[in-house]
Amino acid sequence: MRVKLVCVAGGRPNFPKLAALFRALGTRTDRFETRFVHTGQHSDPRMSKLICEELGLPEPHVDLGVGSATHAVQVAEVMRRFEAVLQAEQPHGVVVAGDLNSTLACALATSKFFRDEPFPFRGKPRRRTVLAHLEAGLRSFDDDMPEEVNRRVTDCLSDLLFVSEPAGEANLCREGVAPERQHFVGNVMVDTLLSLQARAAASDVLARLGLEPRGYALLTLHRPSNVDDERQLRTLLDTLDEIAIELPVVFPVHPRTRARFEAARIRPRSERFLLTEPLGYLDFVKLESSAKVVLTDSGGVQDETTVLGVPCITLRNNTERPITVTEGTNVLGHTTREGILGAYAALHREPRSGRVPRAWDGNAAERAARVLEQAFA
Q: Is the distance from CB of 304 to CB of 227 less than 8 angstroms?
A: no
Q: Is residue 61 annotated as part of the catalytic site, yes or no?
A: no
Residues contacting ligand UDP: total by CB under 6 A: 16
Q: Using CB under 6 A as the criterion, what x/- string covers residues 279-318 for binding ligand UDP?
A: x-x--xx------------xxxx--x--------------
211 binds ligand UDP (CB under 6 A): no
CA distances from 355 to 270, 309, 311, 361 (A): 34, 7, 12, 12
16 binds ligand UDP (CB under 6 A): yes
Beta carbon nearer to ligand UDP, 62 or 285: 285
Beta carbon nearer to ligand UDP, 226 or 298: 298
Minimum distance from CB of 166 to ligand UDP (Å)? 20
Give the pairing of strands 124-128 and 114-121: antiparallel
Q: Is the distance from CB of 54 to CB of 282 less than 8 angstroms?
A: yes
Give φ, ψ of 177 to 5 degrees. Answer: -75, 125
328 binds ligand UDP (CB under 6 A): no
The single residue among 220, 306, 324, 330 that binds ligand UDP, judged by CB under 6 A, is: 220
Beta carbon nearer to ligand UDP, 300 or 311: 300
Q: Name the residue among 320, 319, 294 with its Cα closest to residue 307.
A: 294
251 binds ligand UDP (CB under 6 A): no
Helix, strand, or coil here: 323?
helix
Q: Name the residue among 271, 274, 272, 267 with its Cα closest to residue 250.
A: 274
Q: Using CB under 6 A as the criterion, what x/- string covers residues 148-187 for binding ligand UDP?
A: ----------------------------------------
Minimum distance from CB of 272 to ligand UDP (Å)? 19
252 binds ligand UDP (CB under 6 A): yes
CA–CA gap between residue 374 and residue 88 (Å, rounded) = 26
Minimum distance from CB of 333 to ligand UDP (Å)? 15
Which one-letter amino acid corresponds to residue 271?
Answer: E
Q: Which H or E element spans position 163?
A: strand 160-163
Give φ, ψ of 340 to 5 degrees. Answer: -70, -45
Q: Is the distance from CB of 248 to CB of 159 less than 8 angstroms?
A: no
CA–CA gap between residue 171 and residue 306 (Å, rounded) = 21
CA distances from 239 to 27, 267, 269 (A): 48, 12, 11
Beta carbon nearer to ligand UDP, 77 or 99: 99
DSSP character for 360?
-
55 binds ligand UDP (CB under 6 A): no
Helix, strand, or coil here: 219?
strand
Minimum distance from CB of 127 to ligand UDP (Å)? 33
CA–CA gap between residue 270 and residue 2 (Å, rounded) = 57
Catalytic pick among 71, 222, 254, 334:
222
CA–CA gap between residue 10 and residue 18 (Å, rounded) = 11
Beta carbon nearer to ligand UDP, 9 or 86: 9
Beta carbon nearer to ligand UDP, 129 or 171: 171
Minimum distance from CB of 178 to ligand UDP (Å)? 27
Minimum distance from CB of 111 to ligand UDP (Å)? 22
51 binds ligand UDP (CB under 6 A): yes
Q: Is the distance from CB of 168 to CB of 138 less than 8 angstroms?
A: yes
Stretch that binds ligand UDP, among 68-76, 117-125, 274-282, 316-324 (CB under 6 A): 274-282
Q: Which residue is nearest to ligand UDP, using beta carbons?
A: 298
Q: In what order do the strands lie in the sheet with 273-276?
A: 273-276, 249-252, 217-220, 293-296, 312-314, 330-332
Minimum distance from CB of 261 to ligand UDP (Å)? 16
Beta carbon nearer to ligand UDP, 93 or 280: 280
CA atoms 284, 288, 293, 297: torsion sign: positive
The single residue among 278, 322, 333, 357 that binds ligand UDP, judged by CB under 6 A, is: 278
User: Which residues here bind ligand UDP, judged by CB under 6 A?
Assistant: 12-13, 16, 51, 220, 252, 278-279, 281, 284-285, 298-301, 304
Residues identified as active-site:
222
